[in-house]
Amino acid sequence: MSTSGDAGGRPQGPSLTVAAVARRLGVAPATLRTWDRRYGLGPSEHLAGSHRRYSAQDVARLLVMRRLTLEGVAPSEAARAALAASDAPTAEVHVPTTAEVMDAYSDAVPMAADPTALGAAAGQFDNAAVRWMLTRVAPRDVLAWWTDLVEPTLRVLAERPALERPGESVVPALTAAAFAELRSRAAVAAAHLEGERPAPTVIVVPTADGPDLRAHVMATALQAERVRARVLSSTTPAVVAGAIERAAPAALLVEVAEGAAGARVASVVRAAMGARSGLPIFVHHGAQAPDLPVAANVHRVRTLTGALHEILAAVRGE
């Protein structure tokens, strides 16, 4: 790595690649290239072989740009402010470390959901940018996080044909990052439950063939509302009945995955009804409603928000 600086008083410091700066600022490399093309916030160092590198002053300008956009300033206005700040005389420009960048943004206004940007970062396997967006979008509303950011991004990526390298698959990678973010949010919610009176428990039963991210989103949303939630990894009737007997839940949510067999959903509901009479059972499904046993304690819900509100009302006796 080279350093920049000359006798004319330009600030000294390491020169960085696009990838290195993107990691430090938590953005996709494509975002940096856009800022360069549109606003002139590009690298100023030119090395042998036509390689361009970001100087310390370049990184300082980008830090201003990133902070202002996080706070809701329009990109064009943020760019003007960043360029103006770089014109101010200074003896030394400090290149922020990753930890310093995170600290600087800790009190920033949450980011708006941008599925296109998340998809671009995921497509480049830019883990820092992906985790940054997953963390900053709707930090206190996991249902909005899912419906406004994660679900539309996953849907577009799943529908887009791609030639992927061995060991690289965008949708599973983004799903894994989303699960990691859910673990962090659920851990915060669980910490709030410690030391409180025993919280009601809700069992969530996904009917997808594999891990169901949406079911874990609902479980995390319940924990944020001081309700202990657990996701059952099996739809086998005996397993469902056994989990109900052991956990004594206040309610059960059946999360119907797209394309899930109606017979599987109905068998889960019947197993829950047989395990405990009167247990509130909520079935969240999409446009195609499955055939379900008719009972006063079996409730159909069409939206995540509706499911959350109805379950909370049931477990709280409202």
The model carries a pTM of 0.66
The mean pLDDT value of the chain amounts to 82
Q: Which residues contact 136 (CB under 8 A, 6 or more apart)?
A: 70, 105, 108, 110, 111
For 3-105, CATH gives 1.10.1660.10
> What are the pLDDT digits (tens) for 1-17?
444 444 444 444 557 88
Q: Would you state the pLDDT for residue 7?
A: 41
Domain boundaries defined on the chain: 3-105, 115-187, 199-316
| 217 three-state secondary structure | helix
> CATH: 3.40.50.2300, 3.40.50.300, 3.40.50.150, 3.20.20.70. Which one for 199-316?
3.40.50.2300
Range scoring the smallest mean pLDDT among 55-69, 139-153, 206-220: 55-69
In terms of phi and psi (left: phi > 0; alpha: psi -120 to 50; beta: otherwise), the region of 259 is: left
What is the four-CA torsion angle of 109, 114, 115, 117, rounded to 10 degrees?
-100
pLDDT value, residue 4: 43
- The answer on pLDDT for 110 being more than 80 is no
Span 183-187, mean pLDDT?
83
**Pairwise CA distance, residues 300 & 206, whole Å:** 15
In the numeric block, the tokens 């989990």 are attached to 243
SS3 label, residue 281: strand
pLDDT(230) > 90: yes
For residue 90, what are its two tokens? 């200074």
Note whether 3-105 and 199-316 share their fold: no
Predicted pLDDT of residue 86: 59
Average pLDDT over residues 224-232: 92
225, exposed or middle or buried, with CB in 10 Å at 0-12, 13-18, 19+? middle
For the cut 60, the answer to whether the pLDDT of residue 102 exceeds it is no
- State pLDDT tens for residues 267-306: 999 999 999 999 999 999 877 778 888 899 999 999 999 9
Out of 27-41, 86-100, 102-116, which region has the weakest mean confidence (pLDDT)? Answer: 86-100
DSSP notation for 54-108: B-HHHHHHHHHHHHHHHTT--HHHHHHHHHHHHHS--S------HHHHHHHHTTS
Question: What is the rounded distance in angstroms from the CA atom of residue 142 to the CA atom of residue 175?
Answer: 15
Q: Sign of the CA dihedral 168, 170, 174, 175?
A: negative
For 11-25, 116-130, 195-209, which range has the lowest pLDDT when averaged over its residues? 11-25
Cα–Cα distance between 52 and 18 in angstroms, integer? Answer: 8
55-92 pLDDT tens trace: 888 888 888 888 777 666 788 888 888 888 755 544 44
CA distance 161 to 182: 27
Q: Check residue 77 and give its pLDDT.
A: 86
CB 289 within 8 A of CB 262: no
Whether the predicted pLDDT of 106 surpasses 60: no
| Candidate ranges 67-71, 117-121, 210-214; pick with highest mean pLDDT | 117-121
What is the average per-residue pLDDT within 257-264? 79
What is the reported pLDDT for 14?
59
* Confidence bin at 49 (pLDDT 50/70/90): low
Q: What is the pLDDT of residue 91?
A: 41
